[in-house]
Structures are given as C-alpha cells and as structure tokens.
A and B are shown apart, each in its own frame.
Chain A
Amino acid sequence: MKKEIIPSLLLTIVCILFFSGVYPALIWGIAQLAPNKGEGFVIKGDNGKYYYENIGQKFTDDKYFWSRPSAVNYNASGSGGSNKGPDNPDYLAQVQATIDTFMKHNPDINKADIPSDMVTASGSGLDPHISVQGAEVQVARIAKVRRIDKSVVEALVKKHIDGPMYGLGPERVNVLKLNIELDQTTRRQ
C-alpha cells in the first residue's frame, strides 16, 4: 500500500486539474455560444424587468393564471417538494383545503374539472408549467376579473399550449409566458 501512495497522490492532483479545471472550462467555453451565455434563459418583461423562463413564479392574484402549489413558495434560492406520502392524513387534509380554496376563487366551475396538478405541489417547487386543463379551468375566473371576453382568454391559453416536444411527452402551459401575454392583451384592450 505504501508504495502506491505517491503515484496515487500525483495522479489525483493531475485528475483534479483536468476534470475539475479543463473540463468545466471547456463547457463554459461552449456556453458562450449558447443563448444568454449559459446564465439561464430569460424573458424580458416591462420596465426593464426580466424573468427566468424556466423558473416558475408565485401567482396567487385572481387576475393571473395561478401556478401550482409549491413546497418552497417559489423561492428559487432553494428547491424541493412536499415529500408527503399518498396516504398521509395531514397531506390529504391539505389537498382538500387547496381544493376548497380553488373552488372559492373559481365558483363557476365543476369540482371534477380541477386537475390534480393544480392542487398538488411539484417536485422542485419551481414548476413553471401547469397542465392544459389547469389553465382552462381558470379561464372563467380570469375573464371575469379582467372583464375581457372569455373567448379571448381561451384563445390565449390555446396559443400557449406547448405540444409534446418532438412528439414526445405531455402537453403543458408555461404560466409565466401566458401571464405576460395576458397582461399585454388586457392592456391592448
């Protein structure tokens, strides 16, 4: 064992320099060719504001499409889920409460139209998406609050449905993008 210490140590040092120095530098170099130089995709908002396209935001105002419940309250300095088991009574009570709140704010809908993603927390707590049904079920409320025609909101939702990527995976709606355009549309009207 003794005589292997020096070679092992030396090899460790060159490996650290190579895999933790050269390799990340190379990837960083490639990143300079990527959109926003590898600092995360951003969307420009009003007044010079910008938002991270892939990081969901907290939307609790009735005038916005809500995003999903979050275990970290959409604070992206951290991330995580509720980690509640499917048969945990506390958890089920919490889900029930979320449903009740949702119904209170959306009195015109059928309970059976609420999709489960709107009342369950995502894994990251930063999920930027909701399901198509999750957007549709909020259309009536948005139209009412914003006093715009329901069909306009419906068309907006439809426009923001991202189909399966390359034909694979689920359909979804990016809440942030939808709300940005919602604001713009409302202003125009």
Chain B
Amino acid sequence: MEPQILGVVVMFIATLLLAVPLGKYIAKVYAGQHIWTDRIFSPIEKLFFRISRIDPTKEMNWKQHLTVLLTINLIWFFWAMFCLLNQGWLPMNPDHNQNMTSDLAWNTAISFLVNCNLQDYSGETGVSYFTQIYGLMFLQFVSAGTGMAAAAVVFNALRDRTTEQLGNFYNYFLKSCTRILLPVCILVAAIHLFEGTPMTFKGMDTVTTMQGDTMHVSRGPVAAFVAIKHVGTNGGGFYGANSAHPLENPNYLSNIVQMVAQILIPFAMVFAFGFYTNKKRLAWVFWSVMTIGFLILVVPAIYTEVQGNPNIAHMGISQPGGNMEGKEVRFGATASAFWSIATTVISTGSVNGMHDSFMPVSGMNMLLGMMINSFYGGVGVGFLNFFIYVILAVFIGGLMVGRTPEFLGKKIEAKEMKIAMIIALFHPFLILVGTAVASYLTAHDTNMGWWFADAAGKHNASGWLNNPSYHGFSEMLYQYTSCSANNGSGFEGLADNNPFWNISAGIVLLFSRFLPIIGPVAIAGILAQKKFIPVSSGTLKTDTGTFGMLVFAVKVIIAALAFFPALALGPIAEWLKMH
C-alpha cells in the first residue's frame, strides 16, 4: 500500500485496538471496580477529597449533578479570566507578553472552559507560560473531565433498573482526570519529548540563519501541553500554527501519536458505555454508525486533497503532493486531510494544516463533521450528542414498528422529546443565526466602530474576510459552526481577534457547551426514574444494523435539512465553480 495511505490506515486501526481495552478500563473506573491504578491514585484522590471536604460516595440525582457541574465550571471561568487579564505581571513570562484585552480574555476563557479551544490569539505572543500551564492547560484537563463525568452520569442512568441515584459528580470528574486523562497524557508527552517537542521554561531563543538573517524561535513547556490538548480533545495549540508547527508536531510519528491520542477516548467512551451497561453489541452498533459517517466524510477529503487544486494545475506545474497550500511536507496531503476530518468530527479542532486553504469538498466535510458533531464527538460530550440523535431515532423508529418508543427499556415520552428537540434545534440555531448576522453586516459592509477594525484600522465589516465570495461565506459559517460544535478549529483567515467575533463566539460557545450537557443528562435522569420494561419481540431492538441505519439517517437528514442552503452558498458553490 502507498505509505501515505498506509499511514492513515495504521492511525485508525491502532486507535481501535487501543480503544477497546481502554473502554473496558474506563467502564471499570466509573463502576468503581478494582483496577491496577488504584494503588497509585486512590491515596491521591482520597487526599484531594479530604482537603475539599467532599464525600465521594454520596449519591446525587441528575439535578444535583448538573448543579455541581455548573458551579465548578463557574469557578474555573473566574480563574481563567484572572490568569488572562493579569499574565503581564504574573510569573513565568520570559517573553514579556501583555495582558489580554477583556473581549479576547472573555473569548479565550470561555473557549478553554468549554473544551472548544478556539484561539483568537497566537500562543507565541498572546499568552505567558503561566497562562499556558496554570490557566489553559488546567482547563484542558478539567473541561475534558467534565464532559467525561457527564457521560458517566448518563451511562449510570442507562442501566437496566429504576433509580434516582446516579453516582457522585466529583468522584466521576476527578477519576476521569487522574485515572484516564493523566496516564495517557504522560505517555503521549514522553513520546513527544524524544521526537523533538520542547519542554522547557526558557523563553524565546534567537539564532542567526545560514543566510545570516536573525531569527527568533519560540520554545516553552510544549510537550505537557500538547498531550492533554489531544487526549482531552481540546485542540488548543501551544503555538499559533497548532500541530502544523514543527516543534509542536515534529514528525510523522508524533503526528500518529497525536492523531491516536485525540480519537482514542472518543472511541473508548463508546466501548466504555458497552462494557459499563453490559450492552457491547449496542456499543459496536453505535461505533459502526459513527465510523461509517467518518469514512463518508474522510474519503472524499483525502481524494480531493491528493488530487490537488485544479486552478493550480492550470498553471502548468505538477502537484505530486496534492494541494499543498497550508500543509506541511512531513505529513503530506493524505495525513493532513485525514486529520482535518478527524479533528472536526471529534471536536478537537487542532490542525496540522490550514483548513482555510483546503479544497471546498474537504471544507464542506469538515463543516458537516461539526454540524453533525457526533461521529465520535468530543470526550464524553460526543456520546451525549449521539445520545440525543438516538432518542430521536428511537422515537421515529418506535412509531414505525407500531409501539410506544422505548430505549433500553424506558419509554420515550413528550418530556424527553421536548428536551431532545431543543438540544437538536439549538445547534443549527446558533450556527445559522451567527452566520446570518455576520453575513448581513458583511453584505452591507457596515461600519463596525469599536466592534471591529482590520489591520489597516478600517472598520468595514467586509474587512474581516481573508477571501472573497463563497469562500468568504464559508469562513464565517465555519467560525460559528466550530464554536457551536465546541470544536475550535477555524478558517483562520477570518480576522477574529476583535470584539465582534470574540464576544459573539463566546456567547455561542457557552450555550453550545452547557445545553448539550444539561439536555442529555436530564433525559437520562428522567429515563432512569421510569419503570423498566423488559424486551419483547415487539420491541424495537437497538443493537441491530437496521437501527444503526436509522440513527445514521436521522443525523444526516437533520443536518442536511438544516444546513443545505448554507452549504450550497459556501463550499458547494465554490466547488461547482472550480470544476
């Protein structure tokens, strides 16, 4: 097989092989079963809980879970704001980077709090090492832990019984961080150290190049950061260029490690659900549905990127590496295209090539990945999003076989439908309304005043676009889609570090993080309280290919119906024009 194709196949298969045992491990962690990491972490966790005056065995109902989740997230928000607004005088700032403006701090704090990691700043110049490590990297751990803990609550609620008691949130949260994220991170970081990723607290270095130019090289504690960035599907890069940066992602091996690291837990959470609830077949159905969706998106993307840009082909040069604009030679078009889709379906949003310069088909598939947002999805929350679609599919499917819809022995009724529908609605609402406002302002080339100024100091709204026409539309659409999917990647040409984009994106981020956690946890909590109905031959079986097909169809149809016009005016029009 061609070594570049083989490379992505290896990434995918390696992830799957690691994810199944990891899923089993995660299930045991949440079930409180004895595991080998007990010896290391039990004393640490006990100490933490004692200091925090928390009884980790106290069971909570779904409302209590959400209360704790929101409270602790609020505290983290304030901490992040503090770091960003005071980094100038705080320690560990060898490059003397400035305090953030308040709108950028708002956007950045929220963005890392909600596991999105949209970065309107550049890591080299925008933040100090203190902020990177104590502000942002801390949030990368705990925001991932939050999502996983919420998923654990849902797992707990979906067991075959009737209960209100759904475990302890602090317990799920801390164990997610210590027992799942941390060990994987240490492994990933260690590999990076030996491939050339820096881990130093020394600041920028200055070297003279062979030609005699002076050149500054940003360094920093990158290895620790890059590990949790991927393991927690955060995606926020240490450097501005994210994983395209040769220190953040030095070679093909580190690229494989980062790829595996970011899909690993999204895969494993699906299997963990199967092990935890003892529904392994169902877990495989879910995983297959996700995988089919992923493959449908990734194959055309690889194909078009490898084919190259037809406009450049017309200029008479060759494109042996495909469309190389915005891509690194050491990864090649195949691995970059694979990454671009992987990172968008799982809400990491790290990049190893610049998405803005990808071909329209790839751009559309990245957008679709985020619009659907549950072909794997982010750590924990991906499963929660998927769960919403499952509820909708169960409802339609249940009716189609002539039986009141039920999922895992619990009836799906009006209340659950209401919550599921609100969650399903909010995603297109945030994306389309955000894009609509931006498009309106761009179309009128409004004078934005304080809200926006381009590099030349002009306040015209159209100045935030880096590309004209359909692609410009895609840039705005991508920004809000990325926010609403808590993804964090961008069509980075968009000039987004200004009050308009910082603030509007921050609002979208908040809603799109917490509603999709509250909704599924609420549904699961309500279902858990309902009477358990045993399966009969009239029951719609969910662990079958047919049901998998239905879930897939529901996702695709909802996404297609909500976003078709927008996609038609962006990437589809661009693609049709180019061909």
- The yes or no answer to A68 lying at the interface (CB within 8 A) is yes
- Find the residue from A8, A10, A56, A124 having the highest chain B CB count within 10 A: A124
- The yes or no answer to A160 lying at the interface (CB within 8 A) is no
- Find the residue from B72, B122, B320, B328 having the highest chain A CB count within 10 A: B328
Q: Are B72 and A11 interface neighbours, CB within 8 A?
A: yes
Would A170 and B133 be within 8 Å (CB), given that A10-B53, A27-B224, A127-B246 are in contact?
no
- Complex Cα distance, B319 from A39, in Å, reads 35
A interface size (C-beta, 8 A): 102
Residues of A within 8 A of B70 (CB): 1
- Give the contact stretch, choosing among B212-220, B389-397, B506-514, B520-528: B212-220
Q: Are A87 and B219 interface neighbours, CB within 8 A?
A: no
- The yes or no answer to B160 lying at the interface (CB within 8 A) is no
Q: Are A112 and B210 interface neighbours, CB within 8 A?
A: no
- Complex Cα distance, B182 from A39, in Å, reads 23
Q: Are B354 and A123 interface neighbours, CB within 8 A?
A: yes
Residues of B within 8 A of A125 (CB): 241
- Complex Cα distance, B336 from A115, in Å, reads 18
Instruction: Return B525 CB to nearest CB of chain A, in Å.
Output: 17
Q: Are B51 and A14 interface neighbours, CB within 8 A?
A: yes
Q: Are B79 and A12 interface neighbours, CB within 8 A?
A: yes
- Complex Cα distance, B48 from A15, in Å, reads 8
Would A129 and B320 be within 8 Å (CB), given that A78-B122, A168-B6 are in contact?
no
Within 8 A of B (CB), among A26-56: 26-28, 30-31, 33-35, 37-41, 45, 49-56
- Complex Cα distance, B96 from A86, in Å, reads 37
- The yes or no answer to B578 lying at the interface (CB within 8 A) is yes
User: B322 — nearest CB in chain A belongs to which residue?
Assistant: A116
Would A169 and B574 be within 8 Å (CB), given that A24-B224, A77-B216 are in contact?
no
Within 8 A of B (CB), among A72-95: 74-89, 91-92, 95
Q: Are A11 and B52 interface neighbours, CB within 8 A?
A: yes
Within 8 A of B (CB), among A5-23: 5-12, 14-16, 18-20, 23
- The yes or no answer to A138 lying at the interface (CB within 8 A) is no
Q: Are B325 and A23 interface neighbours, CB within 8 A?
A: no
Instruction: Return B171 CB to nearest CB of chain A, in Å.
Output: 11
Q: Are B196 and A41 interface neighbours, CB within 8 A?
A: yes
Q: Are B331 and A170 interface neighbours, CB within 8 A?
A: yes
Q: Are A79 and B122 interface neighbours, CB within 8 A?
A: yes
B interface size (C-beta, 8 A): 125
- The yes or no answer to B68 lying at the interface (CB within 8 A) is yes
Within 8 A of A (CB), among B106-126: 122, 124-125
Q: Out of A23, A50, A74, A81, which one reaches B244, CB within 8 Å? A: A81
Residues of A within 8 A of B399 (CB): none
Q: Are A52 and B210 interface neighbours, CB within 8 A?
A: no
Encoded as 1 (CB less than 8 Å from any B CB) or 0, chain A from 147 to 189 comes to: 0000000000000000011111110100010011001000000
Residues of A within 8 A of B410 (CB): none
- Give the contact stretch, choosing among B291-299, B304-312, B454-462, B539-547: B304-312
Q: Are A40 and B72 interface neighbours, CB within 8 A?
A: no
Residues of A within 8 A of B3 (CB): 164, 167-170
Q: Are B125 and A112 interface neighbours, CB within 8 A?
A: no
- Complex Cα distance, B197 from A78, in Å, reads 16
Q: Are B208 and A49 interface neighbours, CB within 8 A?
A: yes
Would A59 and B196 be within 8 Å (CB), given that A4-B72, A24-B133 are in contact?
no
Encoded as 1 (CB less than 8 Å from any A CB) or 0, chain B from 163 to 191 comes to: 00000001000100110001001100110
Residues of A within 8 A of B35 (CB): none
Q: Are B574 and A165 interface neighbours, CB within 8 A?
A: no
Q: Are B326 and A83 interface neighbours, CB within 8 A?
A: yes
- Complex Cα distance, B328 from A165, in Å, reads 15
Q: Are B246 and A56 interface neighbours, CB within 8 A?
A: yes
Within 8 A of A (CB), among B452-498: 466-471, 474, 491-493
- The yes or no answer to B193 lying at the interface (CB within 8 A) is yes
Q: Are B327 and A122 interface neighbours, CB within 8 A?
A: yes
Q: Are B210 and A38 interface neighbours, CB within 8 A?
A: no
**5 tightest CB-CB pairs across the interface, nearest first?**
A83-B493, A123-B244, A85-B471, A81-B354, A79-B241
